[in-house]
Structure 1
Amino acid sequence: MDLICSFVRVNLFSDKIPRKMILQVYNILHVMLKGGRDCEFYHRLVQFVDSYDPPVKGLHEDLNFVSPRIGEVLEAVGPIIFLSTDTKKLRNEGFLSPFHPRYPDILTNSAHPMRAQDLANVTSYREWVLLGYLVCPDELLRVTSIDVAMVVLKENLVLPLFRDEYILLHENYQHYVLPKVLESKRMAKSGRTKQKEADMEYNIAKQVEKMLTYVVLHNLISSTFTSA
């Protein structure tokens, strides 16, 4: 997932650079280093830049074949993300304490070594969720995905890409994820699948739509009050 997130970040960051500038810089560097133009690769680069304009659209298409696997990974890290937000449980169960919660005299690395390691990586897991559902919106239609996405989206307004460059999360979700969800909702409503499956897909898509709308509105209000 770290590799996929890096791939996504690079492409999202490329959106900050004018398309013509990418091509011109490549041309100039190739002439400086090789003493001539690379016409063959240049045309491939043009096709690549064109297919990733905007980047999220290209990422949707390119990562479609691994989308189910990404969805499984994001589902798997969901419990850790929920646990990281439950400060009372973290304190009572001794997840962050060097002492055993039931045997205070025993000094240990952690009463829950596996969970403690996961909690140490929870920041990465949150980024997996934010980027994963952005580029694989179909995975939001899993029943357990809604709550995971909602928790993370409510706590994040922006996602850093490189140094001081970032993207506005909710704006991107509104532009690229919500339309995909609405499309799934329309397809389910039109009954293109079996009735029982269609009803389930429609209900999940409706919940995802409601969740995304709520999160966008919630963060808009929060940011307004914060700036005021």
Structure 2
Amino acid sequence: MKIIPAIDLIDGQNVRLSQGDYKKQSQMKKTPQQALEFYSGYQSVERIHVVDLMGALHKKAVESNLVSELAEQSALPLEIGGGIRSLETLKAYHDMGVEYFILGTRAIIDVPWLKEAADLFPGKIFVGVDAKENDIYINGWTENSDVTIDEYLADVEDIDLAGIIYTDIDKDGMGLGPNFENTARINKLTRHKVVASGGIRNKADLDELETLGIEEAIVGKASHTEEFWEGIK
């Protein structure tokens, strides 16, 4: 199991939201720079997941300067998401040294644009499928896209993606475990690699996901604790 620890950014700070609610915000003890250094010491860490939370809300990149600093600091690949709505933004992040990109809102509502982006950066784009039950949410998880997971996966099956990041919004940041059932179902629905996200608490959750055929997991709040890493190299 490969672990992708998350660094979520608001105003240059390393924060976590609960269930994607911007009013339920908690600041992490480690700065983004300290978190990056901490995570980089583990062999199981495949890359670092960075989200521009205000970018997602305001529909444009907000934390570009900090992302550039983190990309320069990191020996591991970064994946960046939040507010990426244009090819120009993708190219700008690529020029900073970011290796992977997470596309959400526009990729959900504009599949032809997603294909154009994937043709430009083949195998480098993850789509964030953030859902409540089977409904995909967009614009910082504030709006129902009126697209279901099943419909969407069928539409993007032939696009050259790095994978699908599935987050159960109701589980995110709650420390109650991921949605194992729907993660397994989605993994069977698509040929794309499915990355689990949302609510992962400990190594037992990672082991359970692995039995479902999941090879990568994004870990947010739990990854900031020393306890999570016990028994993990």
Under a length normalisation based on structure 1, what TM-score does the superposition of the two structures give? 0.26
Q: Which of the pair is proportionally richer in helix?
A: 1
Decide which structure has the larger Cα Rg and report it.
1
Under a length normalisation based on structure 2, what TM-score does the superposition of the two structures give? 0.26
Q: Which of the pair is proportionally richer in strand?
A: 2
